[in-house]
Amino acid sequence: MGEKLALKTKISIYRFKDPSGEIYRKLRGGTPAEEMAKERKEEFVGYSETTGNKLLNCGAARVIDLMIGQVDVGGAWSHENAEIGVGDGTTPEDPSQTGLTGTNQAYAGMDSEYPKRQGDVQVVFQATFGLNEAAFTWNEFVVRHKTDMVCLNRKVSAQGTKPADEIWTVVVTITLQ
């Protein structure tokens, strides 16, 4: 039986009320969302998660190009270049897609210190959407390179409608198996 490389993905959404802006500043400064939820229980309003996703062909090609030196490190999904996108699209994931499909879409750059490797086989991306940002129904998610728009993956999962008066932090954890 042949070996197979697999990606296991978990997408977590942390929701907060933050009238003072303090939680937003801490999250954007690199505080892990899970830690903030425990620290600020009064303002923490909810959590949801979904698992699985599709590695997009364009993302797989970028990973291979990085492995063989066809693209320099500027093409990596680094702190400077990575962002998480959310949208209201409901089209099922397909590897041939190149990004979000919905009418409403928003992207947020990485919170400080992200992405980061966790252990030997995990990478964690975290981005926070502030007040009045991405205030629409969240049905789809991607990790995207913000300069050349190459998306690594895409997940479709209804996660609710973000109110304008809340901040939502998305954590994408990818495990190589």
Phi, psi of 40 (to 5 degrees): -115, 60
Secondary element (H or E) of residue 151: strand 151-156
pLDDT value for 2: 66
- Average pLDDT (167-174) is 97
pLDDT value for 27: 98
Full-model pTM: 0.94
In-domain check, residue 2: no
Q: Which one, of 127, 130, 131, lies nearest residue 142 by Cα?
A: 127
pLDDT digits (tens, 9 = 90+) for 60-111: 888 888 888 887 767 788 888 999 999 999 999 999 999 999 999 999 999 9
pLDDT value for 61: 86
pLDDT value for 125: 96
Secondary element (H or E) of residue 65: helix 57-68
Alpha carbon separation from 93 to 52, 80, 89, 142 (Å, rounded): 10, 27, 10, 11
* Residue 108: count of CB within 10 angstroms of its CB: 21
In-domain check, residue 21: yes
Report how far Cα 85 is from the mean position of its chain's Cα atoms.
Answer: 6
Place of tokens 């932090």: 169
In-domain check, residue 47: yes
Contact 103, 150 (CB under 8 A): no
- Which domain, by its residues, includes 145? 7-176
Question: If you average pLDDT over every residue of the chain, what do you get?
Answer: 93
Say how far apart CA 175 and CA 120 lie, in whole Å.
9
In-domain check, residue 122: yes
Q: Which one, of 106, 112, 116, lies nearest residue 144 by Cα?
A: 106
Domain count of the chain? Answer: 1
pLDDT value for 4: 75
Report how far Cα 156 is from the mean position of its chain's Cα atoms.
Answer: 12
In this predicted structure, the answer to whether residue 139 has a pLDDT above a threshold of 60 is yes
In-domain check, residue 126: yes
In-domain check, residue 146: yes
Contact 43, 18 (CB under 8 A): yes
Say how far apart CA 115 and CA 82 lie, in whole Å.
8
pLDDT value for 73: 65
pLDDT value for 66: 84
